[in-house]
């Protein structure tokens, strides 16, 4: 750029004052200001001003000899213009770097969110699989042993002991049911097998059994089918909303609804808890994952406190038919 600037100065000297080459000086100065930042750019602008002054002085520009104030004005104007060009170039480069850093940070944040969702999903599946294959089987075996013990005690006419064994077997069977409900909630295999509607209905029934609260589900629409990707994320959003309602909101009643209207599906989870302002942690990881799941579906998540109290979680997504329905 220095060689190019010097070449422009020589050309300015050759063409004399009849041709104004001021825009040509701005090019190298802008490039240096862009790549070498403000300080170097300003120094290069001063160098450009010196080269311009020398070229016009030795070419005999009459404007520089007519009046002293014209000489001072022209010199200051050109030097100021070159400095402004360098400063603008450096400022634009700084703004460009800031924008690039923000984009990189956003991409990094999205990658972290994606990893968090994947890790959360994998961990839930692992725990659910361990519950189903480990604890459930162990409890089922204990239930069978308790039934066998009951039969043996009845054969020995030990009615009191047989009744206790019967009660133990019943409790173990209920524990098996609860453990299976937990495993199914952690591993929602039924979502892609039976569809989102039956999966959400099963979720409501499971919450009612495990939490001891009134949890209901209602579907409104003509078509109850959507792709597995959307269905899984809607199911997880409903799970997280229910978890927030029971853990933070202290809710006793939860109403889940899924509404289909054309190519749009809307999931709503309404509870009678203490509400968003008191019971919900707005900056928690759960909310971030819910919002990220909604974005993955191309939808929008909204959390508000209705007039009647409680919390209303709404997720609206564009419905895509599953492969079987599309075929």
pLDDT tens per residue across span 165-201: 888 888 888 888 777 777 766 665 556 666 788 888 8
- Long-range contacts for 117-121 (Cβ within 8 Å, ≥24 apart)? 117/289, 117/292, 117/293, 117/296, 120/289, 121/236
Residues 207/254, Cβ–Cβ less than 8 Å: yes
As a whole number, mean pLDDT of residues 265-279 equals 78
pLDDT at 279: 45
State whether residue 16 is helix, strand or coil. helix
For residue 319, pLDDT beyond 60 = yes
Predicted local distance difference test score (pLDDT) of residue 263 = 80
Q: What is the CATH number of domain 189-327?
A: 3.30.565.10
- The pTM (predicted TM-score) of the whole model is 0.56
With a cut of 70, say whether residue 270 has pLDDT above it. Answer: yes
The predicted model gives 316-326 an average pLDDT of: 64
Return the ∠ at Cα 309 (arms to 306 and 314), rounded to 5°: 40
Tracing tokens 């994606």 back to the chain, one arrives at: 114
Q: What percent of the chain has pLDDT over 70?
A: 82
Q: How many residues does the chain have?
A: 327
pLDDT category at 268 given cuts 50, 70, 90 is: very high
Residue-averaged pLDDT of the chain: 79
Q: How many CA atoms lie within 13 A of 135 on its CB side?
A: 17
What tokens were used for 36?
């070498």
Q: Which pLDDT score, from 0 to 100, does residue 281 have?
A: 46
User: Is the CB of residue 85 less than 8 Å from the CB of residue 26?
Assistant: yes
Q: What is the mean pLDDT of residues 37-45?
A: 83
Where are the domains positioned within the chain? 2-105, 189-327
């Amino acid at each position: 750029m220095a060689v190019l600037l010097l070449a422009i100065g020589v050309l300015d000297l050759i063409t004399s004052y009849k041709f104004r080459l001021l825009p040509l000086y701005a090019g190298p100065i802008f490039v240096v200001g862009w790549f070498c930042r403000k300080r170097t750019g300003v120094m290069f602008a001063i160098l450009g001003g010196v080269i311009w002054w020398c070229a016009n002085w030795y070419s005999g520009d009459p404007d520089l000899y007519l009046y002293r104030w014209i000489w001072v004005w022209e010199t200051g104007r050109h030097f100021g213009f070159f400095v402004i060009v360098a400063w603008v170039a450096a400022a634009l480069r700084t703004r460009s770097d800031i924008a690039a850093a923000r984009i990189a940070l956003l991409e990094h944040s999205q990658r972290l969110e994606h990893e968090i969702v994947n890790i959360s999903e994998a961990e839930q599946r692992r725990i659910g699989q361990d519950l189903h294959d480990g604890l459930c089987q162990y409890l089922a075996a204990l239930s069978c042993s308790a039934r066998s013990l009951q039969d043996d005690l009845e054969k020995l006419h030990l009615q009191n002991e047989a009744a206790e064994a019967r009660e133990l077997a019943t409790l173990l069977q209920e524990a098996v049911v609860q453990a299976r409900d937990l495993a199914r909630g952690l591993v929602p295999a039924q979502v892609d097998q039976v569809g989102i509607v039956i999966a959400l209905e099963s979720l409501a029934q499971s919450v009612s059994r495990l939490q001891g609260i009134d949890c209901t589900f209602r579907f409104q629409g003509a078509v109850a089918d959507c792709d597995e990707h959307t269905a899984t994320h809607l199911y997880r959003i409903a799970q997280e909303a229910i978890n927030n309602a029971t853990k933070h909101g202290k809710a006793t009643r939860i109403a889940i609804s899924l509404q289909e209207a054309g190519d749009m599906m809307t999931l709503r989870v309404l509870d009678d808890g203490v509400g968003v302002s008191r019971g919900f942690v707005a900056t928690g990881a759960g909310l971030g994952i819910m919002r990220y799941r909604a974005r993955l579906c191309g939808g929008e998540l909204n959390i508000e406190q209705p007039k009647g109290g409680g919390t209303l979680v709404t997720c609206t997504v564009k419905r895509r038919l599953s492969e079987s329905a599309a075929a």
